[in-house]
Amino acid sequence: MAIRVNPQLIDELARYGAEDVHKCYHCGNCSAVCPHSEEPFVLPRKVMRHLQMGLERKLESALDPWLCYYCGQCTEECPREAEPGETMMSLRRWLTSRYDFTGISRLFYRSWAAELTAITIVALATGIGLYAWGSTHGDITVYDGPDAFLQSSAIHVFDWTMAGVLTLLLAVNAARMWYFTVGRQGIAVPLGTYLKQAWLLPVHFVTQLRYARCGKKGPWAIHLGLMLSYVTMFVLIMFFLHEMQAGPEIRWQVHAFGYAASIGLVGTIGYALHGRLRRTHTLYRHSHESDWIFLLLLAAVVVTGIAQHVLHRAGLPLHANVAYLVHLMGVVPMLLVEVPFSKWSHLAYRPLAIYLAALQRDALTVPAGARAAARGAA
């Protein structure tokens, strides 16, 4: 079978942040120091070679970039300064654009102006729509109760609607990821294997456990803190919004978790922004425009959320409502733009990649007869 080669692949990946890929001469230092490099996923040397050869289809089916956590060891050990860690990060952006059936990810990663424009449009539409709805159904000088400007019951329905849209988008893209990496490759995986390895999905989503295998534990701890804080806040908003918004008295059984999550988010976002500004670590030496947009939007969401809570407890309902409206103008584009189409989507693809990699490994160890039976059942 003929192998199709894309001679422009390196130039294309440069638009996603890759630099100096051509300098790599495959000495193997990167794979030697990588704690995640193991057969059949030889990180990052194999994908560097495929990229230089223009093997687009091979890269499209690769899970290797998702198994990399960009600890920076490979880049530090590279004698040619070929930036293998940044190349793996760029490949994750490129793969995200391939999984996305809408083409929006490709547009955002190749044009920061398009991403920023989309966020601005969604934010303004959210602000105008919620202000019009709140003015019709409530009073902007009232924060809670039957005359509240933005009633928690209505916002709760709004949140679940957005969650449904987000889940649908990610589910379709996740199915495409499975097709590229397993289905199209003709890898026969028994149903029992899918069930046996399913525990990997929630465990690695919440704990980022593989990251802990990297030599430096600090970045893993920061990543874990961000994840736990985000998941905690997400659960509180989706299931305890009424208790979170009620007041002005503090309901410690709920708010204590919110305060802990807020501290975690402020600390981890501040650390990431400081690292990118100072560029003192390999991890932060290169920052794609999408990284900055994501971090600044997340920071705005956190700051306005804290402001809304403080103003409500201070007995300033008008100011609290304005802060809440601005907060939602950040939350909606974060959920509808950033999560399915940009940086935040990596949180879904990485644990899925770990799961699919386990399926591939198990499939390679299944006896030939069982593989044939699984292929026939599929």
At residue 181 the predicted structure's pLDDT band, cuts being 50, 70 and 90, is very high
* pLDDT for 366: 56
Q: Are residues 18 and 153 in the same domain?
A: no
Shared-domain flag, residues 109 and 237 = yes
Residue 373, pLDDT above cutoff 70: no
Q: What percent of the chain has pLDDT over 90?
A: 69
Question: What is Dmax (Cα atoms) for the chain?
Answer: 72
Q: Are residues 87 and 112 in the same domain?
A: no
Nearest to 68, CA basis, from 206, 176, 213: 213
Take residue 268 and report the two structure tokens written for it.
């981890």
- Is 271 part of a structural domain of the chain? yes
Could you tell me the end-to-end alpha-carbon distance of the chain, in angstroms, rounded to an integer? 24
Say what the pLDDT of residue 77 is. Answer: 92
Question: What's the chain's average pLDDT?
Answer: 90
135 and 199 housed in the same domain: yes
Q: Does the global pTM surpass 0.85?
A: yes
- The residue out of 99, 124, 144 marking a domain boundary is 99
CA distance linking residue 171 with residue 189, whole number of Å: 20
- The label of the residue with tokens 């525990």 reads 199
**Mean pLDDT confidence for 182-188:** 91
Dihedral angle, C-alpha 204, 105, 58, 284, nearest 10 °: -60
Q: What is the pLDDT of residue 367?
A: 54
CATH number at residue 68: 1.10.1060.10
DSSP code at position 4: P
**How many structural domains does the chain have?**
2
Q: What is the pLDDT of residues 206-236, one digit of tens each?
A: 888 888 888 777 888 888 898 899 889 999 9
- Residues 118, 236, single domain; the answer is yes
Residue 208 lies in a domain: yes
pLDDT at position 375, please? 47
189: in domain: yes
**pLDDT at residue 125, rounded to an integer:** 97
Kindly give the residue spans of alpha helices, DSSP state H, lying in the chain: 9-14, 29-33, 45-53, 56-60, 64-67, 73-77, 84-99, 104-110, 112-137, 152-178, 191-196, 200-207, 217-239, 241-245, 252-278, 289-313, 317-333, 339-341, 346-365, 368-377
| 31 and 111 part of one domain | no
**Nearest Cα to 197, choosing from 316, 354, 21, 23?**
354
In this predicted structure, what is the pLDDT of residue 93?
95
**Above 80 in pLDDT, residue 352?**
yes
pLDDT tens for 107-153 read 999 999 999 999 999 999 999 999 999 999 899 999 988 899 999 88
- Do 85 and 158 reside in the same domain of the chain? no
* Residue-level pLDDT at 39: 83
- Mean per-residue pLDDT for 26-51? 91
d(CA 368, CA 62): 23
> Which tokens sit at 5?
């080669």
Domain containing 15 equals 9-99
> What average pLDDT does this structure show over 289-305?
94
Q: State the Cα angle at 294 between 290 and 299, rounded to 5°.
A: 150
- What is the share, in percent, of the chain residues with pLDDT greater than 70? 96
- Do 248 and 137 lie in one domain? The reply is yes
How far apart, in whole angstroms, are the C-alpha atoms of residue 20 and residue 14? 9
| Cβ proximity of 335 and 368 under 8 Å | no
Residues 28 and 154 in one domain: no
Query: What is the spatial distance between Cα 289 and Cα 294, in angstroms, rounded to a whole number?
Result: 9
Residues 49 and 176 in one domain: no
Note the pLDDT of residue 378. 45
Long-range contacts of 99-103 (CB under 8 A, 24+ apart): 99/173, 99/174, 99/176, 99/177, 99/180, 99/349, 100/173, 100/176, 100/340, 100/341, 101/172, 101/173, 101/176, 102/169, 102/341
**Each residue of 231-242: pLDDT tens digit?**
899 999 999 998
- Single residue among 57, 72, 99 that ends a domain in this structure: 99
284 pLDDT higher than 60: yes
With beta carbons less than 8 A apart as the criterion, state whether 25 and 80 touch. Answer: yes
